[in-house]
Amino acid sequence: MHIGKKIKEAVKRSGMSVTEFAAKINYSRRNIYSIFEKESVDTSLLTKISDVLGQDFFVHYSSDSKKYAAQHGRVEEPSGASEYSENRIRELLKEVEYLKEINSLLKIQIEKLSKRKESKK
């Protein structure tokens, strides 16, 4: 298994440019291309890449569970995928609530500005 190739494919599928991806994980463009060539990646870097791309790359390291599932006619969710997905959903829901709050505050500001303009006329 070549994790660098999997990361490269995921970046391509995401529609993100290599430069944009590099900026999001705080690496240079040159280093990104070297990651694409690696067969293994440090876990802290892989965690950061997983977060940025919204994909759990650690599932590629759990081949034993895939073999077992295939032999027993089962399709199992990749190890850690469910937990990762649940955590990501929680994070996104928090972000949505935060954005709703900001939107509400902006509406209040717009109303105040509108009232000021009306009173000056």
- CATH classification of the domain holding 8: 1.10.260.40
Percent with pLDDT over 70 in the chain: 79
The answer to whether the CB of 69 falls within 8 A of the CB of 75 is: yes
- The chain-wide mean pLDDT, for the chain, equals 83
The pTM of the whole model exceeds 0.75: no
DSSP type of residue 39:
S
CA–CA separation, 42 vs 58, rounded Å?
11
Does the structure show a pLDDT above 80 at 75? no
Counting the structural domains of the chain, the total is 1
Residue type, 10: A
> What is the span of the domain harbouring residue 24?
3-120
State the sign of the Cα–Cα–Cα–Cα dihedral 21, 25, 30, 34: negative
